[in-house]
Chains A and B, each alone.
Chain A
Amino acid sequence: MAVEVLVIGGGMAGTAAALAARSAGASVLLVSRGPGATALSSGAADVAAAGDAPLLEAARTVARRPGHPYALLADLDGALREGLLLLRALGYAGPGERNLWLLSPLGCPKPAALAQPFIAAGDLRALSRDARPAVVALAGAQAIEARLQQAGLRRLFPQAPERPLAADFYTQRTDALRGVPEMAADLDARRERLADALRRAVRNSGATHLLLPTMGLEPEPIDAGVPVFELLGAPPSVPGLRLQRQLVKALQATGVELRLGEITPADVPEAGAMVLATGRFIGGGIRSGATLTETVFALPAYAGERRSLPALPGEELFAVKAAGRHAGFAAGLRIGPDLRALDAHGRPAFFKAAPLFAAGAVVGGYDQSRDEGGLGAAAILGAAAGHNAAAAVLGARRASA
């Protein structure tokens, strides 16, 4: 029997869609090619990060940028609430009504609506100005990066220790080659040893809070005598891996059928409705050739108003400065008000009579690296698309009954 809702893409948006459709009572099949941008995410979830009140700020984003997919959501507030609820169910924490401010891997303050619990606990705004937080240096490149992070902390907390806090968790010369993901595995295996090392390091250091590069793939509270937080992860990030695992668990727990592999129009499983959540360039959902094109159904994609491209589209799509606003990184499908993907004529797209919905970065109009919503936007759009897809099939089911 054909499934009712087919979701293509197993990142945040696809999972949110699958869970929403499932909770509405539809049977769901999720096809995933493998980890994408979600698995590289930092542990924070942006909804629309600028400013200080994520929900309000998202509404402002809508007003400011009419091309943003939030602008199309009929019930923006409801969708935001549902997206945040899903993130909370996945363990993402934070007040939600105002941003967390977290220390970035470069030592800069990074706003986020929510974050994984040990990361959210390190909210910089919650620390008093005379706190003395210290980044823990374990080994190798991480110990060097900790210096930049500590320098960033010192700008915010003038009494913080000058240097990162060296902990003697590692002892071998070759341990210098351990990267943060490897450290996560080491910590999982030797949690007590880490706690001991931290307690020894804290003694006489004056540090009031510790920031660890990772608390392992299965984080647990660490008793080091002072509060211990986890830092945001740069790719390849441990929080991203952790989230990807949780997504799979959540899908399995709710009875979504999972399938791994590439998908082409020739082998798309039959379904009553479909949700495309294949990501942008990292996920592989959008490709640039002579035109910008969605990769599974060859739907048209756009960067701003542009679709056809010269062989080398760089100058058309990207700003002169790296930090500029790049139309190319907000490239994607166009969608209608119900999150239906639009075809070349601007009409809602179908595949073999199944309506196509879209969510996440495959949808154009927002750039995850700017203040336009990252993981949070994927959860919000995904949940909404999943609802709409389920409503489409369930409506048809009821009608035929």
Chain B
Amino acid sequence: MKSFDLLVIGGGVNGTGIARDAAMRGLSTCLVEKKDFAAGSSGANSGMIHGGARYLLFDAKVTRLSCLDSGYIQRIAPHLLFRIPFLIPVLPSGHELFDQAYLYGVECYFEEYDRYQPLKNGKPHTRLSDQELHELEPGVVQGTVGAVSMDEYGIDPFRLCTLNARSAAEHGADVRTHTQVTRLQRQDDIDSDSHYQYWRVGLEGPSGSEEARARVVFNAAGPWAPKIAALGGAELKIRPGKGVHVTLDRRLSNYGIVCRAIDGRDVFVMPHEDSCIIGTTDDDFYGDPDELSVSQDEVEYLLQAVERTFPSVRQARILRAWAGVRPTLWQYGPLEDRLSRDHKIYDHGGGFFSIVGGKLASFRAMAEEAVDTVSRALSKGGRCETHKTPLPGGEAPAPAAEELSRQHDVPAFAAARIAYRHGAEAPRVLALADERPELRALCCPCEGVTFAELEFARTREFAAGLLDLRRRCRLAMGVCQGARCIGPAAALLEDLSQARELLDERWKGQRPVLAGDGLAQAELLQSTYFGVGALQNEGTAPWR
């Protein structure tokens, strides 16, 4: 039986962040995740490290923390962040004086936000006339009152979690994915070896069930946190909020554009890598976070909101719709949008803690606070270094894509994606292709994924199957939604067993939005896997 100072439950951004911080401070750490890194809320958000301008009025503390931590995340993972300039057009209401005052109000608001921008290397806002706005983005509806700009950053949240987990493992943490916590029991009699009280943690993983011991258990299970708390005999309340996003097949704009939904809420359309994301809804969620689905109403609400400011969204091809659950702090009364995005650490006693709430952009600060708590409880552990020690690939600037492409004979497009996803580690990924030339080939032409990158994820990044590979390097996340790449990727693993599951996972997102040209793509996917591919006959020999 293994013994740890700290056992962290949850492989999202909080769990991986805590595990990294703790391992770097010298605590013996185990990270347990029932599926894969970022398989829950951390992989189903807008993919932004944003300062939370929205919370400035009623939660300025959250804005400050988000901006401050954004700056640190930029420092430790510079390759993973991409700047997204936002435009906030003001549409005429019919009362000119009011409109001018409103635009002035928006500008004042972002002038206040400008105070925080230097923390995250953001540019101050600009006020734009209608003409200037259309010079920047002709797709915005004509006849606006004007617009205000602001700066935010996007990130690949899957990689952020993976890199935290990898760094934790490199600092000695025991990282277990696809491992479920089955039992959480406090052992009050003193451990004869260590003379400490401890938790007995039942684990069910790929290699069967076992038990681990930990002096402190940290519950960072996001929407599943109440369940984990209950397992340890504690009560934890959150107010889960469901957020729906829609992905479009291309970058409609190089700017993020803030639009107003029918109920007055702010909704945005923004570029994310090679696609565009529209988000988001915010509704109380009472269901099982393992069984999320998107309704057509939710998609229509988002499209309607964007259409008013950016009409051509109706001609765009929608790739998919997806949902996540925010583990928001419990509060009875406020509307969803007014709920605090602050985080909180709960001490359930006896070395059992939970962390809920917070934002992707402040994960590192939250992890620091969490490990400070653990460190106090154990009277052990050094100083936090996560604000200055780079994540893997962040140690130096990423090599230029053209150079990578030339040196390793891979397509320039793929080299650029590898440079983005792996930063300074890109040459390590491509070294695999130097040894085994076939790994140079593209597996997923939509997202520029070479087999080398898949092999790297498989051997160095805890990717256990096709579903994990998707999260490591955007396999099957592009315009064809896996029509091309799922078979070849399964071939690299020599394992078709997750092909159906990945097809179903992709299909689940496509189904609510499938129409128009998407039907031809889906028909081609069907014939690839169920027509010529005959996946339904796997393992049979019907003629014998």
Contact partners of B411 in chain A: CB under 8 A: 177
Of A25-33, A87-95, A305-313, the one touching chain B: A305-313
Of A144-152, A249-257, A393-401, the one touching chain B: A144-152
Does the CB pair B441–A176 fall under 8 Å?
A: yes
Known: A105-B532, A110-B534, A314-B296. 14 other contacts (CB 8 A): A108-B535, A108-B538, A109-B541, A111-B542, A145-B488, A148-B487, A176-B437, A312-B513, A313-B514, A314-B510, A322-B506, A367-B526, A369-B526, A370-B531
| Interfacial residues of chain B within 406-456, with CB under 8 A of chain A in the complex | 409, 411, 433, 437-443, 451
Does the CB pair A314–B514 fall under 8 Å?
A: yes
> In the complex, what's the smallest C-beta–C-beta distance from A303 to chain B, in angstroms?
11
Does the CB pair A235–B300 fall under 8 Å?
A: no
Contact partners of B488 in chain A: CB under 8 A: 141, 144-145
Of B14-22, B136-144, B368-376, B489-497, the one touching chain A: B489-497
With A52-B543, A173-B440, A282-B520 as known contacts, state yes or no: A106 contacts B538, CB within 8 Å. Answer: yes
Contact partners of B492 in chain A: CB under 8 A: 144, 147
Contact partners of B543 in chain A: CB under 8 A: 52, 99, 101, 109, 124-125
Q: For A156, give its contact among B438, B440, B541 (CB under 8 Å).
A: B541
Q: A388 near B: Cβ within 8 Å?
A: no
With A141-B451, A148-B487 as known contacts, state yes or no: A328 contacts B440, CB within 8 Å. Answer: no
User: What 7 pairs across the A-B complex have the smallest Cβ distances?
Assistant: A140-B441, A110-B534, A148-B491, A369-B531, A322-B507, A42-B532, A141-B441
> In the complex, what's the smallest C-beta–C-beta distance from A397 to chain B, in angstroms?
39
Does the CB pair A176–B494 fall under 8 Å?
A: no
> In the complex, what's the smallest C-beta–C-beta distance from A36 to chain B, in angstroms?
10
| Interfacial residues of chain B within 483-517, with CB under 8 A of chain A in the complex | 487-488, 490-492, 494, 496, 499-500, 503-504, 506-508, 510-516
Contact partners of B528 in chain A: CB under 8 A: 234-235
- Total number of B residues with any Cβ neighbor in A under 8 Å: 60
Does the CB pair B440–A151 fall under 8 Å?
A: no
Q: For B536, give its contact among A144, A145, A287, A323 (CB under 8 Å).
A: A323
Q: B330 near A: Cβ within 8 Å?
A: no
Contact partners of B300 in chain A: CB under 8 A: 311-312
Q: List 5 A-B contacts (CB under 8 A).
A: A107-B538, A109-B542, A173-B409, A312-B514, A374-B527
Does the CB pair B438–A106 fall under 8 Å?
A: no
Contact partners of A104 in chain B: CB under 8 A: 532-535, 537
Q: B396 near A: Cβ within 8 Å?
A: no
Minimal Cβ-Cβ distance residue in B for A40: B524
Does the CB pair A312–B512 fall under 8 Å?
A: yes
Does the CB pair A143–B438 fall under 8 Å?
A: yes
Q: A75 near B: Cβ within 8 Å?
A: no
Q: A376 near B: Cβ within 8 Å?
A: no
Contact partners of A288 in chain B: CB under 8 A: 515-516, 519
Minimal Cβ-Cβ distance residue in B for A51: B542
Minimal Cβ-Cβ distance residue in A for B517: A281
> In the complex, what's the smallest C-beta–C-beta distance from A139 to chain B, in angstroms?
7
Does the CB pair B299–A312 fall under 8 Å?
A: yes
Q: B539 near A: Cβ within 8 Å?
A: yes
> In the complex, what's the smallest C-beta–C-beta distance from B465 to chain A, in angstroms?
14
Contact partners of A174 in chain B: CB under 8 A: 409, 440
Does the CB pair A321–B504 fall under 8 Å?
A: yes
Q: A353 near B: Cβ within 8 Å?
A: no
Does the CB pair A110–B537 fall under 8 Å?
A: yes
> In the complex, what's the smallest C-beta–C-beta distance from B456 to chain A, in angstroms?
15
> In the complex, what's the smallest C-beta–C-beta distance from A173 to chain B, in angstroms?
5
Number of A-B contacts (CB under 8 A): 205
Contact partners of B522 in chain A: CB under 8 A: 281, 329
Bound complex: CA A105 to CA B439 (Å): 19
Does the CB pair B500–A322 fall under 8 Å?
A: yes
Contact partners of B531 in chain A: CB under 8 A: 42, 368-370, 374
Q: A44 near B: Cβ within 8 Å?
A: yes
Q: A320 near B: Cβ within 8 Å?
A: yes
Q: B385 near A: Cβ within 8 Å?
A: no
Minimal Cβ-Cβ distance residue in B for A179: B441
Bound complex: CA A146 to CA B441 (Å): 14
Q: A117 near B: Cβ within 8 Å?
A: no
Q: B55 near A: Cβ within 8 Å?
A: no
Q: A59 near B: Cβ within 8 Å?
A: no
Residue picked from B528, B532, B535, most chain A C-beta under 10 Å: B532
Minimal Cβ-Cβ distance residue in B for A109: B537
Bound complex: CA A140 to CA B504 (Å): 28
Q: A81 near B: Cβ within 8 Å?
A: no
Q: For A322, give its contact among B438, B441, B503, B541 (CB under 8 Å).
A: B503
Contact partners of A140 in chain B: CB under 8 A: 437-438, 440-441
> In the complex, what's the smallest C-beta–C-beta distance from A80 to chain B, in angstroms?
20
> In the complex, what's the smallest C-beta–C-beta distance from A103 to chain B, in angstroms?
9
Q: For A147, give its contact among B494, B504, B506, B538 (CB under 8 Å).
A: B494
With A310-B296, A369-B527 as known contacts, state yes or no: A147 contacts B516, CB within 8 Å. Answer: no
Bound complex: CA A323 to CA B501 (Å): 10
Q: A284 near B: Cβ within 8 Å?
A: yes
Bound complex: CA A369 to CA B483 (Å): 13
Q: A86 near B: Cβ within 8 Å?
A: no
Contact partners of B515 in chain A: CB under 8 A: 288, 311-314
> In the complex, what's the smallest C-beta–C-beta distance from A222 to chain B, in angstroms?
23
Does the CB pair A323–B438 fall under 8 Å?
A: no
Q: A315 near B: Cβ within 8 Å?
A: yes
Bound complex: CA A308 to CA B53 (Å): 43
Bound complex: CA A280 to CA B519 (Å): 9
Q: A317 near B: Cβ within 8 Å?
A: yes
Q: For A106, give its contact among B513, B527, B529 (CB under 8 Å).
A: B529
Contact partners of A145 in chain B: CB under 8 A: 487-488, 491
> In the complex, what's the smallest C-beta–C-beta distance from B182 to chain A, in angstroms?
29
Minimal Cβ-Cβ distance residue in B for A143: B438
With A141-B441, A173-B437, A328-B519 as known contacts, state yes or no: A322 contacts B504, CB within 8 Å. Answer: yes
Does the CB pair B538–A281 fall under 8 Å?
A: no
> In the complex, what's the smallest C-beta–C-beta distance from B246 to chain A, in angstroms?
10
Bound complex: CA A310 to CA B411 (Å): 42
Q: B540 near A: Cβ within 8 Å?
A: yes
Does the CB pair B299–A155 fall under 8 Å?
A: no
Does the CB pair B532–A322 fall under 8 Å?
A: no
Contact partners of A232 in chain B: CB under 8 A: 532
Contact partners of B274 in chain A: CB under 8 A: none
Q: A326 near B: Cβ within 8 Å?
A: yes
Contact partners of B98 in chain A: CB under 8 A: none
Q: A233 near B: Cβ within 8 Å?
A: yes
